[in-house]
Structure 1
Amino acid sequence: MPSTAEPVVLEVGRYTGPRLRVGSVTCLVLGAVAVVGGVAAAGGAVLVLSLLVGVLLLLAGLLLTVAANAARDARFVVDEQGVTWDAGAATWHAGWEELSGVGLSVLRSRRRARTADGPGGERVIRVLMAFHDPEPDAGSAPLRRLRTTDEPAPWTHRMPFASRGDWAARLDEGLARLGGERYAGMGERDVLRGRGS
């Protein structure tokens, strides 16, 4: 059993970074093939379409490269001070004194996937937060992006990330231990694939 003060640290970047890099390389290769194929085409609509698809795939590949580099060292921390998303320029922190409540929602995809994390298919974890202040994110762009409109009251913000192994259980234990009476527990629900983020 961990001590009361021991933090829960999820190395999210080590899990998502490699997947983003695979997507990046795939888009860059397919984009290059489309551009080369378009240039080799005799002309007309095939040339224009191939170049357009190629440029879009190259752009997607570059954006995924930037996202993979940004996510490389990302981690989620629950400790005595509160909850923190540590990800470079997108870092934010919510202290326990700022939160009226915190909870967990585990969303399971109804469609089974090869990367399934146990029964029910792929899973996404949402750390749900309710703040005392109605505008806690006024000066924090990273926190402002976490506003939620699809969770019931009192939740105002959510931090979603893909589930891996025992992450949900570790967060459940850590939030109960460190968040005390603020912690509302963990709920699980099935969602249609693509809607749970």
Structure 2
Amino acid sequence: MGQEELKRMLDFFKGLADENRLKMLGLLANQEYSVDELATLLNLKPPTVSHHLTKLKALELVEMQAEGNTHFYHLNISTLSAVNKLLLTQERMASLVDDIEGNEWEKRVIRDLFDGARLKTVPTNTKKRAVVLKWFASQFEYGVRYQEAEVNEIIKRHHPDWAFWRRELVGARLLAREKGVYWRIPEEGSKS
């Protein structure tokens, strides 16, 4: 989940993190009410109700309709549905920790398999090998063309079997090769 989506989700839940606002939404889900009617039903002062309604309007959860000098509020069902589809899915909730779980696990794999900048052993586990390949790919800059000898030299700094890792990097589509020249391929979703 991106920072903007995370901020939107946090704003949404902060806006709902009030008992009176939740009660207002419950009432407005059934019918329209004026500020005075909501104040009476919730045993609040009208300015307090107006304050809460302003927060709910900012989230686009309620809409207002004027009839003369009286403003009537109702639940905005389309926003509620959109929020449900955008934020409150199992996939979205799981994506809250994608970066945390992935990064921490990858860091641990690197710590376990490397002694400083030297790879101690070639992992047989496919997921761990993918982490090592990603790490090797990070040793190459985007937009730079490398001669094969340069690629070999960079890999040799970290493991003696440079030919194996060079082939693996190309096979994993982390490096591209054409006529003895190599370059780093941007990862999906990367802006590089």
| Higher strand residue share | 1
State TM-score, norm by structure 2: 0.31
Higher relative contact order (CA 8 A, sep 6+): 1
